[in-house]
Amino acid sequence: MTSPDRATAPHRGRPTGHTGSVVARALGVLEAFGPDRPALTLSELARHAGIPLSTAHRLVGDLTGWGALERDETGRYRIGLRMWELGALAPRGQALRETALPFLEDLSHVTRENVQLAVREGTELVFVERLAGSGAVPVHTRVGGRFGLTATGVGLVLLAHAPPELQEEVLAGHVERYTPFTVTDPARLRRILADVRRDGYSVSDRQVTDDALSVGAPVQDAHGRVVAAVSLVVRRGTAAPRALAPLVRTSARGIGRALTD
Amino acid sequence: MTSPDRATAPHRGRPTGHTGSVVARALGVLEAFGPDRPALTLSELARHAGIPLSTAHRLVGDLTGWGALERDETGRYRIGLRMWELGALAPRGQALRETALPFLEDLSHVTRENVQLAVREGTELVFVERLAGSGAVPVHTRVGGRFGLTATGVGLVLLAHAPPELQEEVLAGHVERYTPFTVTDPARLRRILADVRRDGYSVSDRQVTDDALSVGAPVQDAHGRVVAAVSLVVRRGTAAPRALAPLVRTSARGIGRALTD
């Protein structure tokens, strides 16, 4: 499965609802950065954040002084290590990743296939970890990268267990098509989501690329809430979804158990 | 080697130099979180950030709306996934980690010992990755955690290649003692740092805990600058530093090469 990063910065264009405040402007400066824009000049920052150069100068000074931004040898700004340190405290990011890693590594060792871990953020998913299997089908997922909820194994699990109103919001919106096999019909997607809830796993058959198949399973916390999803991504034809599902489900249950310890 | 997390939040008490600004106050709210304080109530946040409750309420609203903070089921605030996503863009955090991971995993597989990757941030180091060897000496390093530069294998490498004025600042300050073997004498440390530069690797023998030995090596970028350090941490007596050094150095060189590709 190829899961290209979105070409835009995460949350780009998402209204903060506080456009007038200084905090919103500072956050707007940070939001100018994305996978496709890791380094920006001051004027690029001002343009992307939609603020005057003088304001950008002051905000960037504050953010750099604190370590949220760093200046590289070319004079351009990058996201600073301080942001990474703070981000490492996010329970749904680094903490989840560290708890899950031994289980993901076991799954990767046993199968030699691609293993992914994702959480839902609004109407999208965020990849929290990916382990590339040696010799497995190429996957271009990036840790910290976003993707839609309708086509991947992890996405279908997260969508199936999202609040009903969010499911309807996603199904009513534009459903991206990647291959001739991508399911975009809302009624068919609704049936697929019901199957995922009933079976305890999802199957994405050539829905993202026409050579890959992924099987996903939910990670549940102590209260039974689905907090993440795990998937195996394999070259289509090498293994039956039915054979992969117990492996993925066992791994997901192990992570859920470790989360509540 | 046991590398306990600092009991305080990273950078806690570090002056931002902009204490009056709204941005500084918002950053102060984020700074209230730390490994020991992952979840805080609004009033705890206000107290740690040193701001009135009404100001905290407004700032926390802005930060939560944007996703920098998340509210958990108990009503307390935590660092949000959005911060982790942004942090994943920090070149010295996630990008370095992803480039280094295959080399670190090889080193871990071959030796079955603890492998660590760290970068320097001011007068401290930040652990960017750690792989715990199966059956290896226990290491309590946390990814994203900080430690001093004078006692560990990675720290001695990073300090040896830091600007001379920073080395002097560290040697002139308080040098923490962890065991009877921790070197705290500035003159002796200066000789050790010269040895690290000459030999191309560092040895920390029981300087952090009295059962562990670590060997570190520098990761250099295309311009020869030391941008990170790798170490193996083993139970003392199981292997000679001289035997470990080529392994660690080879791994560090591989990472440096991959960084410039």
Which residues of chain B neighbour A68 with C-beta distances below 8 Å?
A: 27
Q: What is the mean pLDDT of chain A?
A: 88
> pLDDT tier at B47 (50, 70, 90 boundaries)?
very high
Q: Determine contact: A243 vs chain B, CB below 8 A.
A: no
User: What distance in Å separates residue A181's CA from the closest CA in chain B?
Assistant: 30
Report B:43-62 residues touching A (Cβ under 8 A): 59, 61-62
**Cα–Cα distance between B70 and B76 in angstroms, integer?**
8
- For residue B187, how far is the Cα from the chain centroid? 25
Does the distance separating the beta carbons of A87 and B59 come in below 8 Å? Answer: no
**B192's tokens:** 């050790």
Does the distance separating the beta carbons of A92 and B87 come in below 8 Å? Answer: no
Q: A5, A30, A72, A89: which to substitute to probe chain B, counting the most B Cβ within 10 Å?
A: A89
User: What distance in Å separates residue B185's CA from the closest CA in chain A?
Assistant: 30
Residues with Cβ < 8 Å from A135, sequence gap 6 or more?
A112
More confident residue, A104 or B21: A104
pLDDT for A135 equals 67
Residues with Cβ < 8 Å from A187, sequence gap 6 or more?
none
Strand residues in B12-123 grouped as ranges (E):
69-71, 77-79, 114-121
Does the distance separating the beta carbons of A16 and B94 come in below 8 Å? Answer: no
Q: HSE of B190 in the Cβ direction (CA atoms, 13 Å)?
A: 10
**Cα–Cα distance between A72 and B180 in angstroms, integer?**
40
**Cα–Cα distance between A204 and A216 in angstroms, integer?**
8
Q: B6, B84, B140, B221: which to substitute to probe chain A, counting the most A Cβ within 10 Å?
A: B84
Q: Determine contact: B17 vs chain A, CB below 8 A.
A: yes
Does the distance separating the beta carbons of A83 and B94 come in below 8 Å? Answer: no
Does the distance separating the beta carbons of A30 and B26 come in below 8 Å? Answer: no
Q: What's B9's DSSP letter? A: P
Q: Determine contact: B88 vs chain A, CB below 8 A.
A: yes
Q: Which amino acid is at B217?
A: A
A83 contacts B90 by C-beta, under 8 angstroms: yes
Share of chain A above pLDDT 90, in %: 62
**A87's tokens:** 């981000």
Does the distance separating the beta carbons of B79 and A89 come in below 8 Å? Answer: yes
Q: Which amino acid is at A53?
A: L
The residue among B139, B159, B141, B161 whose CA lies nearest residue B150 is: B159
- Per-residue model confidence as pLDDT tens digits over A32-87: 998 889 899 999 999 998 999 999 999 999 999 888 999 988 899 999 999 998 98
**Cα–Cα distance between A234 and A7 in angstroms, integer?**
25
DSSP SS3 for A81: helix
Which residues of chain B neighbour A147 with C-beta distances below 8 Å?
A: none
Report A:134-193 residues touching B (Cβ under 8 A): 143-144, 146
Transcribe B186-214 into DSSP letters: HHHHHHHHHHHHHHS-EEEESSSSTTEEE
- Per-residue model confidence as pLDDT tens digits over A149-207: 999 999 999 999 999 999 999 999 999 999 999 999 999 999 999 999 999 999 999 99
Beta strands A124-131 and A114-121, pairing class: antiparallel
**Cα–Cα distance between A171 and B161 in angstroms, integer?**
55
Which residues of chain B neighbour A30 with C-beta distances below 8 Å?
A: 86
Q: Which residues pair with A253 in a beta bridge?
A: none
Out of A112-121, A217-226, A239-248, B23-32, pick the least confident.
B23-32
What angle (nearest 5°) sits at the alpha carbon of residue B178, between those of residues A66 and A94? 45
**A167's tokens:** 């499911």
Beta strands B77-79 and B114-121, pairing class: unpaired
B198 contacts B161 by C-beta, under 8 angstroms: no
Q: How far is CA A167 from CA A46, A196, B104, in A?
A: 36, 13, 41
Does the distance separating the beta carbons of A59 and B23 come in below 8 Å? Answer: yes
Residue with tokens 């002051």: A58
**B193's tokens:** 């740092």
**B232's tokens:** 């193996």
The residue among B253, B241, B252, B159 whose CA lies nearest residue B203 is: B241
pLDDT for A11 equals 40
> pLDDT tier at A222 (50, 70, 90 boundaries)?
confident
Q: Determine contact: A83 vs chain B, CB below 8 A.
A: yes
Neighbours of B146 (CB within 10 A): 21
A215 contacts A231 by C-beta, under 8 angstroms: yes
**So what's the ipTM on this one?**
0.79
**Cα–Cα distance between B9 and A54 in angstroms, integer?**
32
Q: A5, A14, A66: which to substitute to probe chain B, counting the most B Cβ within 10 Å?
A: A66
Report B:186-205 residues touching A (Cβ under 8 A): none
User: What distance in Å separates residue B205's CA from the closest CA in chain A?
Assistant: 28
**Cα–Cα distance between A227 and A225 in angstroms, integer?**
6
Q: Determine contact: B85 vs chain A, CB below 8 A.
A: yes
**B142's tokens:** 């946390």
Helices B42-49 & B53-66 angle (0-180, nearest 10): 110
B202 contacts B230 by C-beta, under 8 angstroms: no
Residue A19 scores a pLDDT above 80: no
**Cα–Cα distance between A97 and A80 in angstroms, integer?**
21
Out of A21, A81, A146, whose CB is closest to B126?
A: A81
Domains for chain B: give ranges and CATH numbers. Answer: 22-79 (1.10.10.10), 91-260 (3.30.450.40)
**Cα–Cα distance between A77 and A74 in angstroms, integer?**
9
